[in-house]
Chains A and B, each alone.
Chain A
Amino acid sequence: MKKHLNGVKVPHHKGTSEKQIVWMDVPEKVTIPMSQQIGPPCEPLVAVGDEVKVGQKIGFADHPMSVPIHASVSGKVTAIEDFLTPMGAMTKAIIITADKLQEKDPAIAPPVVTDHASFVQAVRDSGLVGLGGASFPTFIKLNPKDLASVTTLVVNAAECEPFITADDRGMRELSDKLFVGIEAVRKYLELEQVIIGVEDNKPAAIAHLREKETDTLKVQSLRSRYPQGGEKVLIYETTGKVVGEGKLPADVGVIVMNVTSLITLGQYLLTGEPLTYRCVTVAGSAIANPQNVMVYLGTSYQDVIDFCGGFSQEPGAVFMGGPMMGICVYDLSFPVLKNNNAIVALSKKDVVEDKESPCINCGRCISACPFNLMPTNIDRALAAGDVEMLKELKVNLCMECGSCAFVCPAKRQLVVSNKLAKKKLMNAGKR
């Protein structure tokens, strides 16, 4: 038996796992920010007053990493305004007032894919970025430097964050599209094996996918231990391979793709409809009717939450994503983005208000860290401004999963200190 990586037992709260995905109505308007991926923001390709159709390309940048952004509704561009992204950057957002006819762009047709190059181009045209939250351009992932050395596709279906069940529902309801996506990746990248990693708290999804198991396509049940869906953690737990410092999964012959990304890819290959909607889990103690909703991208949080019966209690905080790594939104006019797998709203009493107290050196953060880092030592080195020590402690390996802060009895903000420590190292490197 190989050793598992460390992790923490988080509460599951997967109450929406038996709720079928429901389609939301077309909203009055959508807000489509031009920065929805890792890499440069897109430039608007439309102007105020233009009529747009569903699936029409409305944003793109002349940059090797850029992925196009498409209109999610048909209607009229009524404004292009400044938008503050969740990462704190300013970008443009295109506001489309919907005509509710949902007329499709006549140019939409299934892509013609014949080889690896045309496949990569098709993936780029689909507008696909990592839908599990990372928002890394998928076409770049599928075009590794050394294509021949990549042998394995690991499908990330761990869904280890509490509350979120969008991947779970996708696997159970949209598995035909999922397998189209998987087979295409396997075929054009000439891969030897596919491993679908699913946490064992999703037995129905595992059983459903196992019906399609073959010699080269395995469904692996993973123990439910956060952060099982962290890329390096998942690669280690499914293949035993260690992605070293500064390396990419492709360097150990692996490509990891989120399961919802593959479903979207399958759909694009079948129909030519690019990424304009996605499944979002709406849950949390402040939501009246938690469920999985198919949402047109750019729909405001307010509209989505209203669709789910509104708030049952006054919300204290609303996150884009799960409670372990999700980002707080500052306002409910915030739109659903490509990488937004969940909207979690916690009631006032459930929002963490704990005060930090001094570290008592209990070592829980060290035992929790999947990468064996020493968060409390990083915290101390940061306070002392000891850059050399921060380097030695390898703070740059931290993926900010939050396991350390979750278990800390002194309620220390260890993710904050790790973020600041990385920043400090970066600034020190520049000097």
Chain B
Amino acid sequence: MDKLKVQVSPHIRSAVSTQKIMLMVLIALAPAGIAGIVIFGLRALLLMAVCVVACVFFEWLYCKLAKKEIPVGDLSAVVTGLLLAYNLPVGLPIWEAIVGCAFAIIVVKQLFGGIGKNFANPAITARIFLLAAFASEMTTWAAPRASLVANATDALTTATPLGMINEGLVEALPSYSQLFWGVTGGSLGETCVPALLIGGIFLIVMRVIQPTIPLVYIGGVAVFSLLFGQDPLYQVMSGGLLLGAFFMATDYVTSPATTKGKIIFALGCALLTSAIRCFGSYPEGVSFSILIMNIITPLIDRFCVTKPFGAIEPKEAAK
């Protein structure tokens, strides 16, 4: 008989692993991706494939060059690639998307130490980087396929609903039903409300994410919109809010670990999002607000510590 293994307890582990969590996220993202292909056509599929392959490639390349262990098996680069694609206009030139992937994986993720060490969500940060670098292409929104829109025009591009509100083009706004089904201008994976809700609820039911951040973030945007004189339902269904609230703000690494911290984080996201949408010069503020709150997360974590069971506060101990 071989030697018995001697190790520290526990000797059994739950089946949940980093890889399985990432796989769940990918499954949850699938409906929104399919909706993106239906709404914007096969170019959406191409963009998703390019981003996923590029992110995985850059992760492999960096780890190879840096002589680090290659962690592609954990699927986190696949998630980053897909999320980035969902945040891009479908018509974005492919090479620009690849630049974004390189930025997400190499600059935001790997230079800070790889999975678990990044200070901000790679996909969000890369989107903002692309917006700064290629402002025109990043705000040219492909129109939904004509067969899906009742009063379709021949235009190849359109504005997003939030863009129209920002420009004061209120008459041209899509209806609630168009907004709900996502047949409006917007990023690849952000427009279809039911697809995002299905994915989000799946993540909550599978206990991959806790409902705290999405509920507080979405609820917060509704309340702040009302306070700022906007239609809350329209605001909630527009832009990248649902994608951001369910899939980006809930990124473990860049959001607080405690429930109290999560509430503060999500409230901050909601306030910033509504404020940027309402008072800022940008029509949309989801990615900026998540990035800002990502950066504040270590501070929130520092102040939101749990109270251990039966612990004596230093003040009490001194008595």
Residues of A within 8 A of B (CB): 5, 8, 10-11, 162, 232, 236, 242-247, 314-319, 323-332, 344, 346, 350-352, 354, 357-364, 366, 370-374, 376-377, 392-394, 397, 400, 402, 405-411, 413, 415-416, 419
Contact = CB atoms under 8 A, between A and B. Distances in A.
Interface of B: 1-2, 4-14, 16-18, 20-21, 71, 74, 113-117, 252-253, 255, 257-258, 305-312
Nearest to A311: B1
B257 A244 contact: no
Contacts of A371: 308-310
B13 A352 contact: yes
A323 B9 contact: yes
A361 B257 contact: yes
A324 B12 contact: yes
Given A361-B257, A410-B116, A374 B12 contact: no
B206 to A, nearest CB: 13
Contacts of A360: 18, 21, 115-116, 252-253
B4 A358 contact: no
A239 B17 CA distance: 36
8 contacts: A232-B309, A318-B4, A319-B11, A324-B10, A324-B11, A360-B21, A409-B18, A416-B8
A400 B252 CA distance: 25
A328 B6 contact: yes
A57 B89 CA distance: 83
B131 to A, nearest CB: 27
Contacts of B258: 363, 366
- Interface of chain A, helix or strand or loop or mixed? loop
B257 A363 contact: yes
Contacts of B74: 357
A242 B310 contact: yes
Nearest to B10: A402
A162 B12 contact: yes
A410 B5 CA distance: 21
B109 to A, nearest CB: 11
B4 A330 contact: yes
A374 B16 contact: no
Contacts of B2: 314
B63 to A, nearest CB: 13
B252 A397 contact: no
B10 A415 contact: yes
Given A357-B71, A411-B17, A330 B10 contact: no
Contacts of B116: 358-361, 410
A5 B309 contact: yes
A327 B21 CA distance: 30
Nearest to A350: B12
A362 B25 CA distance: 14
A370 B309 contact: yes
A411 B308 contact: no
A376 B115 CA distance: 15
Nearest to B257: A363
A10 B114 CA distance: 31
Nearest to B317: A245
A325 B5 CA distance: 15
B64 to A, nearest CB: 18
B16 A407 contact: yes
Nearest to B302: A377
A372 to B, nearest CB: 4
B314 to A, nearest CB: 8
A245 B9 contact: no
A76 B42 CA distance: 86
Contacts of A236: 309
A349 B139 CA distance: 54
B8 A11 contact: no
A358 B114 contact: yes
A5 B9 CA distance: 21
Contacts of A331: 4
Given A374-B257, A410-B116, A232 B310 contact: yes
B9 A400 contact: yes
Contacts of A373: 306, 308
A362 B21 contact: yes
Contacts of A419: 8
A358 B11 contact: no
Contacts of B113: 358
Contact of A328 (B4, B307, B309, B311): B4
Nearest to A372: B306
Contacts of A316: 4-5
Contacts of A324: 9-12
Task: Tell which of B9, B20, B71 has the most Cβ of chain A within 10 Å.
Answer: B9
B257 A242 contact: no
B115 A327 contact: no
B306 A374 contact: yes
B11 A352 contact: yes
Nearest to A365: B257
Contacts of A242: 309-310
B307 A317 contact: no
Contact of A357 (B18, B308, B312): B18
A361 B252 contact: yes
A5 B5 CA distance: 33
Given A244-B312, A362-B252, A363-B252, A325 B17 contact: no
Contact of A406 (B14, B18, B21): B14
